[in-house]
Each structure stands twice: as structure tokens, then as C-alpha cells.
A = this chain, B = another copy of it.
Amino acid sequence: MDKKEFKVTPWEVSGNIDYDRLIKDFGVEKINDTILSRIKKHTKDLHFMLNRKVFFAHRDLNWLLDEYEKGNKFYLYTGRAPSGPVHLGHLLPWIFTKWLQDKFDVELWFQFPDEEKFLFKDNLSFDDTEKFLHDNMLDVIALGFDPKKTKFIVDTKNANLMYKEACKVAKKITFSQVKSAFGLKDDSNIGEIFYTSMQTVPAFLPSVLKNKKIPCLIPHAVDQDVHFRVTRHVLPKLGHYKPSSIQCIFLPPLSGVDGKMSASNESSAVYTTDSIEVAAKKIRKYAFSGGRATLEEHRKLGGNPDVDVSYQWLRMLFEPDDKKLQKIHDDYKSGKLLSGELKEILIEKVSVFLKDHQKKRELAKKNIDKFLL
């Protein structure tokens, strides 16, 4: 695939993604210093994912902050379609969402659309999604969300709350619209066609339940933007606010900076349940390196952190300290730091994270009920 060819849809992410072009194509706003300082006024410090533009785009954040400053608190909405094990790429937006919850002291609605992947994947059964649903919830809880302020909403299990609201949404969307927005076709199944209505519901359900208009902020990876474009088109017609969003780029797969991590490709992802040994082995074996072909060359010409997956994982997820990251960057670029050494820095970070996460994940098993609607 050539530099210009890439694809970003809810069902496929591939190629070398030009995020600036996405900003233009999708019609989202870039996260700039003005909006960052506006956020900082409320959060005191800025999460490194904001400073480093891992969260790089938004919709209507200024409006959301206007409302917040007027005393009209927002709530957060994000989600996970259970269809496989959780990997580190999934955690990225959730870790940021947890930071937002803490800093703004707001409610989070976490959707598990357990029918989505069932409808879109030929070989996935509801028995599969049921297993992954439980498993994936543990990963979310392990990140430390406040159970008093966090509600899990599961499409098939909370359909009594959701289906009627989804019908109100569906009445405002034609097949032509989902055809052009999602590329659905005449031979798409009628569940796929209906599905986006269900993904819209948590963007206004709390307003329905509390009978007042509450602003909504959706942190999500950029591939989901099309769902919320449809949502934003429909909700004013139902008397609700358009949701705001804050959107991140993808944690690159081990194989290189193209596309996104895939849960179904074991050599592209580190799962949250991988043992420290397996994770280390995967990084050593598969993590694409920006280093040179030989030691001599590397010492002389230096490595390329921009395409080095280990460096990118540190930048996007594992090294919050800007100074330490800068030193790693400079040492690698100068040739002082070797690819193998860089990998070991990442492995150390990943090991500490996994050990802690897996402990919390185990404890989460007792706490699922606290999060259910």
C-alpha cells in the first residue's frame, strides 16, 4: 500500500493513515494549543496523550466546555464490542477516559454492544460474545473506574432500556444514509443496517432517564467517527444535544505503524492476559524496529523513532514522563541507544503494567455487579 492509500472505517483500518487528511475528510477539529489550555484551566495538568496529540481531534469541545463552565456538567460515553480478548491498543482510549472521569468528576456510560460483531462477523456466535463480554469487563474495571460513577450498558441485556430509544433514532435514518455513511449494501443483513441506532442510544439515554438535556463527551478512536456523525445528524431532531467527541489515533500493531492492532492476529498484539514472558517474547520477536541493519550503521546513522513500534508504544502509552521520553528519542536517533535496548525499556514498562493490571483484573471478578445497570 502506498503512503496515500489507507482505510479507516468501523470495520477496517489499514494502510499508512494520514491523520491530517482524516481531519479534513471527516470534518473534525484539530486539537490545538488553545483548546488544550482551555482544558488545563479545569484539569490543572494535561494528560500526556493530549500534549502528544495521541488525542488529536474533537467535535464541539468548546461548546462542551462552555456548558461545563455554566454549571451544566457533561457525562462520558465510550464502549467496547466484545468479540475477542482485550489488547493494549484497546486500553489506550479507556485510560484517557478514566483520567477525564477523575479530572471532571463525571459519570461514564460504558457500552458493550454485544450484538455488533455478532452481526458483522460470519463466524461469531452469541456464545462467543458472551464469553468475551465478561472477560472484557474485567479489563475495563481493572483500569480503576469509579463504580459509583460508571454504568455498564450491554445492548442485548439492557434492551428494555435501549431498543425503544433506538427505534426513535432508526425512524430518522434511511437505508440510503447508512449505505453512504457505512458502505452497507443491498446484501447487508438487516441487523447490520439497524445497528448504528443502538450505538447512538448511550449518547442521549441519560438525558431521557433524568428528563433533562445533559451534554455528552465521547472519547473514541477515530474509526468510530462515522457512527457519531450519524448520531449528531439525528439527535437534534429528537430534541437532544449533539454529542461532543475527542478522538485518538491507533496504537500501532507490533508489525509496524500501518493500520491498527488486531485482536485476531497474535503476532500483532499484546493482550492484557499475556504473561510477562509472552509479552516480552512478542516484543523482542515482532516489534517493528526503526533501527539500522547492522550495529555499525546504527551507531553511525541512528534509528528512526517515528516508525519504531517500541518507541511509539512508549510515547503513546507507557512513558508519561516527557523528559525521559525525549532522552530515549534523542539517544535512539543519535545511535547511542540500540533497538534491542529500546525494546528492553519497553518490556520493563509493559511488565510492570501487566503485573499490576492482571492483579486488578483478578480482583475485578468480584466487582462486576457494581457496574451493571
Interface assignment of A171: CB less than 8 Å from any CB of chain B: yes
The answer to whether B158 touches A170 (Cβ under 8 A) is no
Residues on B with beta carbons closer than 8 Å to the beta carbon of A190:
170, 173-175, 178, 193-194, 196-197
Docked CA distance A166–B163 (Å): 11
A168 vs B127: C-alpha distance when bound (angstroms): 12
A contact residues vs B (CB 8 Å cutoff): 115, 118-119, 126, 155-160, 162-164, 166-168, 170-176, 178-179, 184-194, 196-197
Rounded to whole Å, the gap between the CB of A340 and the closest CB of chain B is: 48
- The residue from B156, B170, B191 contacting A191, defined by CB atoms under 8 A apart: B170
For A161, the closest partner residue in chain B by CB is: B159
Alpha-carbon separation in the docked complex, A158 to B192 (Å): 21
On whether the beta carbons of B191 and A167 are closer than 8 Å, the reply is: yes
Among B115, B118, B119, B193, which residue has its beta carbon within 8 angstroms of that of A193? B193
Docked CA distance A126–B169 (Å): 12
Chain B nearest CB, measured from A268 CB (Å): 27
Contacts of A158 in B (CB 8 A): 160
Report the bound CA distance from A184 to B186 in whole Å. Answer: 11
Q: Which residue of B lies closest to A177 (CB)?
A: B190
Residues on the B chain within 8 Å of A187, using CB: 174-176
Residue on B with the closest CB to A118?
B167
Complex Cα distance, B167 from A155, in Å, reads 11
The answer to whether A186 and B175 touch across the interface, beta carbons within 8 angstroms, is: yes
Given contacts A157-B160, A164-B126, A193-B194, contact A188 B171 (CB under 8 A): no
**What chain B residues lie within 8 Å of A179 (beta carbons)?**
186
A118 touches B171 (CB 8 A): yes
Contacts of A186 in B (CB 8 A): 174-176, 179
Question: Bound state CA distance, A118 and B165, in angstroms?
Answer: 12
Which chain B residue lies CB-closest to A169? B191
